[in-house]
Each structure stands twice: as C-alpha cells, then as structure tokens.
Amino acid sequence: MNNLLLVVLLIFITFASSTPMRRQDTHLKQCEGTFPNEITSYGFKPYPIIVGQLVTNHVTGKVTVPVEEGATVKHSIYYNNQLRLEHTEDFCSFIVIPSGHTCPVTSQNFDYTVNIMAKSTPNDPKNVVLDFFTRTLITNPDGRNLTCIEQYVKYSFP
C-alpha cells in the first residue's frame, strides 16, 4: 500500500475549509493525556475511503493554544497492532495554507475542508476493506504537543 496515501489522509484527520459532512463512526477519540486544542468533529467522503478516488476531508475543532508556523503533524499508522508507518509533515504548509488559511492558527474555532486523491500502488491488496488504527499528533516548534487524536479508518482496495 502506498505509504504517502496513508500519510496524506491522516494529516487531514487531524485538521482539514467548510463543507458540512456527516460524521462517520471511526471511533475518533482524544489520546490519553492533556492537550490544549481539541478536534470536535471529523468526517470524510467516501467512507470507507476508496483507494484510487478523491477523498474530501472535513474537520472542526477548538484552538486554545495557537498553532504556530513551523508546527508539525506526526502520524503513526498501525495494522494488526504493528506500526507500519510513521511520518512527520509541516502542518501549516501541508494543511492550513492549501485550505485557504494562514498560520498561526489563532481563531478559537477552526473548520477546514481538503480534497486529496487516495493514490494506489501495484502492491496494494485487491477486493478487500482493511482497518487501520491511526494516531495523529500536532506539535508546535517549541515542542509543546497541542492535539492528539486516535481512530480506526477503513480503506477499500478495489
């Protein structure tokens, strides 16, 4: 499976401009511990995500501590309880700016929508739907963890 596909989709799980969507039952929850910012809803179409098709991601949340320029988003992706991929991206340049907004993210409430292609590779499985456990962590440049969410996400491989 294309690791970039997982990274891109998980980034948008964390923060993604403003098309209302129905929230899927992806078991979204805040990670254990204390984090000042909160994801209040997340949804995407289609669900399950169909590899090889466009995915529209929508996320809303509350910001108590500003997300600064240079913040990172780290994704840890598990399949069958084994870490399969860990990847870090610049949050502002990858999520906020393409969504038509700017950093720092200081507004108390945010609402982002991002479209991304769920790319496939020749090594992807065929005719199966798989569940992945994902953990996404947003960290400011000073090392302060701002947001952490976990959820299960289904991917359909046609």
Cα–chain center distance at 92: 13
pLDDT confidence of residue 87: 83
Query: Is the model's pLDDT at 22 over the cut of 80?
Result: no
> What's residue 115's pLDDT?
80
Give the CATH fold of the 3-157 domain.
Ganglioside M2 Activator Protein; Chain: A, (2.70.220)
Whether residue 140 contacts residue 146, with contact meaning beta carbons closer than 8 Å, is answered with: yes
As a three-state string, the secondary structure of the chain is CCHHHHHHHHHHHHCCCCCCCCCCCCCCEECCCCCCCEEEEEEEECCCEECCCEEEEEEEEECCCCECCCCEEEEEEEECCEEEEEEEEEHHHHHHCCCCCCCCECCCEEEEEEEEECCCCCCCCCCEEEEEEEEEEEECCCCCEEEEEEEEEEEEEC
Residue 13 has pLDDT above 50, yes or no: no
More confident residue, 13 or 114: 114
**Confidence (pLDDT) at 114:** 78
82's CB contacts (< 8 A; 6+ apart) are none
Dump pLDDT digits (tens) for 100-139.
Answer: 888 999 878 888 887 878 878 788 889 999 998 989 899 9
pTM, entire model: 0.76
The predicted structure's pLDDT at residue 26: 56
Mean pLDDT of 55-66: 88
Q: Is 13 left (phi over 0), alpha (psi -120 to 50) or beta?
A: alpha
Domain ranges of the chain: 3-157
pLDDT at 10: 41
Instruction: In whole angstroms, give the CA distance from residue 88 to residue 145.
Output: 14
